[in-house]
């Protein structure tokens, strides 16, 4: 990749802001709206914010870890940044699109890079009916909730809910229950990335459910439709020695 201009963005922490100041002084800086590449300084949370903010620009994003969790970030080093970016490997991601319908008859759409999750709002367990590509696969899931995640999001909330880690490029999504009560043995499903998942909330007045697509929450949903947005493409850049596929593989052998 040939780089003419770099934009730097940073989390609102001293360590990230100090790093951005030094990098701007060393390499110069242009607006993210005109840059060839955006360098994000922070942790995974800030990277997720950056991906959402600049998703429509289709500009590659190179992260360097100046936060706590840095699964999506490269190691921070000030030297040789243009050369590192030029040699970086590109990982392309497609976000999930959530279409949420509420009990009040309203609807809202949002994109998720990690996952779309449904969660009970009260002490009452949620009851969900699940359809895949128009076919009912589970008549009733009694649970705290459920989620659908991308490979990039499979090491986040999905992993905490005991869902599988998905390699990048696997062409899969994970459907994972959250604290399932019935059926007890059901641990979720692996779905092709082009599948459409529909959750219908049973008895929503008594058992209200909210839906969350990364940062966007919709409360009191009656139906949630989830599918991959194949028209939206996100480009992440990783150092060859520390690429995302290797990190996902290593995560599965953490003691």
Query: Hey, which residues are catalytic here?
Result: 44
136 is in an annotated binding site: no
**Which residues 6+ apart lie within 8 Å of 90 measured at CB?**
1, 60, 235, 236, 237
**Residue in this structure with the two tokens 């604290």, named with its chain if needed:** 179
Strand order in the sheet with 189-192: 189-192, 172-178, 145-149, 115-120, 209-213, 216-218
**CA Rg, the chain, in Å?**
20
Supply the DSSP symbol for 113: S
74 is in an annotated binding site: no
Going by their DSSP bridges, the two strands 6-10 and 216-218 should be labelled as unpaired
Three-state secondary structure call for residue 241: helix
Burial of 241 (0-12, 13-18, 19+ CB in 10 A): exposed
156 is in an annotated binding site: yes
- Please state, in angstroms and rounded to a whole number, the distance separating the CA atoms of residues 59 and 72: 16
144 is in an annotated binding site: yes
152 is in an annotated binding site: yes
214 is in an annotated binding site: no
196 is in an annotated binding site: no
From residue 121, alpha-carbon distances to 48, 69, 86, 146, 221 in Å are: 25, 28, 47, 13, 10
- Please state, in angstroms and rounded to a whole number, the distance separating the CA atoms of residues 104 and 90: 43
Angle subtended at Cα 141 by Cα 136 and Cα 147, rounded to the nearest 5 degrees:
90
Residue 210 — φ and ψ, nearest 5°?
A: -110, 155
42 is in an annotated binding site: no
Would you list which residues are annotated within the binding site?
44-45, 114-115, 144, 152, 155-160
Would you list which residues are annotated within the binding site for NAD(+)?
44-45, 114-115, 144, 152, 155-160
């Amino acid at each position: 990749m040939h780089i003419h201009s770099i934009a730097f963005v940073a989390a609102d922490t001293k360590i990230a802001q100090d790093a951005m100041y030094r990098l701007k002084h060393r390499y110069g800086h242009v607006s993210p709206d005109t840059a060839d590449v955006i360098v994000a300084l922070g942790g995974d949370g800030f990277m997720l914010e950056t991906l959402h903010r600049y998703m429509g620009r289709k500009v590659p994003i190179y992260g360097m870890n100046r936060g706590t969790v840095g699964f999506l970030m490269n190691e921070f080093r000030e030297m040789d940044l243009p050369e590192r970016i030029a040699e970086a490997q590109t990982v392309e991601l497609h976000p999930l699109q959530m279409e949420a319908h509420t009990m009040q008859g309203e609807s809202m759409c949002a994109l998720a890079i990690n996952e779309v999750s449904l969660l009970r709002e009260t002490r009452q367990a949620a009851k969900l009916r699940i359809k895949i590509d128009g076919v009912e696969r589970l008549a009733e899931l009694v649970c705290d909730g459920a989620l659908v995640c991308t490979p990039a999001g499979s090491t986040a909330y999905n992993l905490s809910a005991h869902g599988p880690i998905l390699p990048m490029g696997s062409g899969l999504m994970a459907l994972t229950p959250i604290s399932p009560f019935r059926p007890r043995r059901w641990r979720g499903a692996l779905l092709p990335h082009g599948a459409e998942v529909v959750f219908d909330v049973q008895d929503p007045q008594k058992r209200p459910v909210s839906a969350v697509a990364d940062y966007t929450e919709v409360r009191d949903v009656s139906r949630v439709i989830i599918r991959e947005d194949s028209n939206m493409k996100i480009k992440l850049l990783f150092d060859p020695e520390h690429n995302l596929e290797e990190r996902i593989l290593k995560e599965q052998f953490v003691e």
